[in-house]
């Protein structure tokens, strides 16, 4: 007998599992998640897990705010720690970006996000020793911080399973099954098994274009390699806020062991990579540039040394925003292209995907489901920040 489920989700990362959980919460438990390796073994396992509501797209700010609220109640919702630490989040901008910062903060306040404008003295109180010469203004979200994307994804998966969702690991999908009229009606695994579904959800991140192509759907994402550094300052970093530097284009947060995690926000010269064959280490040139930026921000590090480096790939779309919605092939729903910012919004992504799959419309009036539709690229209407930053346009 052919295996079947009403909804087959291909990809057991944060977004696929958040959707499985949300569908099950809404009573749709005939859901099967297929993961080619083990849950959260894809890019979710490499996420920096930064949580902020600072977006220039109102739907995304509202989705991140929903994420903060879910993460803050994670123990209650999932019965487990997801590593969320509300260290606070600061974004700092230069003279040329004070206006967009003010406009974004006003927009966030209107959405109910707790956010304050703070001055350099207040930043120095929160992070003693930080050097702020490059900055003209700051916004502070006291409820932001960072979480552990692996633990979060596993919590979604565990909760979904408890509610009745089936999860099958070590099951790679080779192709989508498609009728002559173009409708997708299931998947074929690499072992030749066919699994039928009313809807197939493609949640395969950077690996999505090849699978989409098996049903003639062009998935407009590319893999952008992003290295991460872990730096031992010479003494454990105290509990400081997560800091996003929109002048020198990097971000810094504390690791649970007291190291600093340092990531890049300069997307002016993206490095595209093969997600199945890329270097998992930062190059010497990259390390030199990143450490110079870090030194400028934290000139008083007592005895800094590199603990380690690794790299992941963002699944970027042309506008650095996700695609959440039906594809041109009926029966195929896209949940891809989170472009390096899919952690904080994942609870809202699951909720929106479940809304669209079950009702065809977002249940949250502050989140416009149409923002994320596939057709925006065909129509030449990318999803753009209302208040873009000069030189940091990809800070969505
Ligand atoms: C280095 C890095 C730092 C980041 N930092 C942040 C951050 O600070 N804050 C933030 O909000 N976001 C961040 N992100 C983004 C966030 O982590 C991602 O958007 C999110 O984890 C993507 O989840 P996903 O489920 O879409 O993809 P993935 O986690 O990659 O999951 C896709 C899954 O599909 C599976 N799969 C692939 N092909 C097949 C197949 N043929 N059959 C079956 N299964 C298949 C894979 O094995 C994988 O498990 C970061 C990402 C990276 C890479």
Contact 239, 260 (CB under 8 A): no
Q: Three-class SS of residue 34?
A: strand
CA of 13 to the centre of ligand 1 (A): 6
Specify the CATH number of the domain 86-143+222-315: 3.30.9.10
* 64: helix, strand or coil: helix
Rounded Cα–Cα distance for residues 308 and 48 (Å)? 14
Query: Where are the CATH 3.50.50.60 domain residues in the chain?
Result: 3-46+150-220+319-378
CA distances from 229 to 51, 168, 218, 239, 305 (A): 18, 33, 34, 19, 10
Residues flanking ligand 1, CB < 6 Å: 10-16, 34-37, 41-44, 46-50, 149, 172-173, 203-205, 207, 211, 226, 228, 312-314, 338, 340-344
Give the residue from 389, 266, 342 showing the smallest Cα distance to 48.
342
Rounded to the nearest angstrom, the distance between the alpha carbon of 49 and the centre of ligand 1 is 11
Q: Which of 20, 32, 43 to mutate to test the pocket of ligand 1 (most atoms within 8 A of CB)?
A: 43
Of the CATH numbers 3.50.50.60, 3.40.50.1820, 2.40.50.140, 3.30.70.260, which one belongs to the domain with range 3-46+150-220+319-378?
3.50.50.60
Select from 5, 4, 11 the least CA-distant residue to 29.
5
Q: Closest residue (by CA) to atom 25 of ligand 1? A: 13
What is the residue-wise DSSP string for 201-244? Answer: EE--GGGHHHHHHTTT-----EEEEEEEEEEE-SS---S--EEE
pLDDT tens across the length of the chain (396 residues): 789 999 999 999 999 999 999 999 999 999 999 999 999 999 999 999 999 999 999 999 999 999 999 999 999 999 999 999 999 999 999 999 999 999 999 999 999 999 999 999 999 999 999 999 999 999 999 999 999 999 999 999 999 999 999 999 999 999 999 999 999 999 999 999 999 999 999 999 999 999 999 999 999 999 999 999 999 999 999 999 999 999 999 999 999 999 999 999 999 999 999 999 999 999 999 999 999 999 999 999 999 999 999 999 999 999 999 999 999 999 999 999 999 999 999 999 999 999 999 999 999 999 999 999 999 998 999 999 999 999 886 666
Q: Whose CA is nearest to atom 1 of ligand 1?
A: 312
CA distances from 369 to 65, 254, 357, 363, 374 (A): 16, 34, 11, 9, 11
Q: Taking CA 314 as the corner, what is the angle to CA 161 and CA 242, rounded to the nearest 5 degrees?
A: 85
- With tokens 């595209």, the residue in question is 272
Q: Which residue ranges does the chain devote to CATH 3.30.9.10?
A: 86-143+222-315
């Amino acid at each position: 007998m052919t295996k079947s489920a009403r909804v087959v989700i291909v990809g057991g990362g944060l977004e696929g599992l958040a959707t499985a959980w949300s569908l099950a919460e809404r009573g749709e438990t005939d859901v099967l998640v297929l993961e080619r390796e083990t849950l959260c073994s894809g890019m979710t396992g490499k996420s920096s897990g930064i949580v902020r509501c600072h977006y220039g797209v109102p739907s995304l700010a509202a989705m991140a705010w929903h994420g903060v609220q879910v993460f803050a109640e994670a123990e209650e919702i999932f019965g487990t720690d997801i590593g969320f630490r509300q260290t606070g989040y600061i974004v700092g901008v230069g003279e040329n970006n004070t206006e967009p910062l003010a406009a974004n903060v006003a927009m966030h306040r209107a959405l109910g996000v707790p956010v304050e404008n703070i001055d350099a003295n207040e930043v120095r109180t929160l992070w003693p020793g930080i050097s702020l010469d490059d900055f003209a203004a700051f916004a502070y979200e006291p409820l932001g911080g960072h979480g552990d994307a692996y633990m979060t994804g596993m919590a979604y998966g565990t909760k979904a399973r408890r509610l009745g969702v089936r999860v099958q690991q070590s099951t790679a999908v080779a192709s989508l099954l498609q009728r002559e009229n173009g409708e997708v009606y299931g998947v074929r695994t690499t072992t030749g098994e066919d699994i039928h579904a009313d809807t197939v959800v493609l949640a395969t991140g950077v690996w999505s274009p090849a699978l989409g192509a098996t049903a003639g759907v062009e998935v407009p994402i590319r893999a952008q390699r992003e290295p991460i550094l872990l730096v031992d300052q010479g003494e454990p970093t105290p509990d400081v806020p997560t800091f996003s530097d929109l002048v020198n284009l990097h971000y810094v947060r504390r690791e649970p062991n007291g190291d600093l995690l340092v990531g890049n926000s300069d997307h002016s010269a993206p490095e595209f990579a093969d997600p199945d064959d890329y270097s998992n280490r930062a190059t010497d040139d990259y390390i030199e540039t990143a450490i110079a930026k870090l030194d400028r921000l934290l000139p008083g590090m007592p005895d800094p040394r590199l603990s380690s480096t690794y790299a992941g790939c963002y699944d970027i779309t042309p506008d650095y925003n996700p695609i959440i919605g039906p594809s041109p092939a009926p029966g195929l729903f896209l949940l891809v292209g989170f472009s390096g910012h899919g952690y904080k919004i994942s609870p809202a992504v699951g909720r929106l995907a479940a809304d669209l799959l079950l009702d065809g419309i977002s249940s949250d009036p502050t989140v416009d489901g149409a923002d994320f539709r596939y057709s925006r690229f065909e129509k030449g209407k990318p999803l753009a920040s209302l208040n873009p930053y000069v030189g940091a346009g990809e800070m969505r």
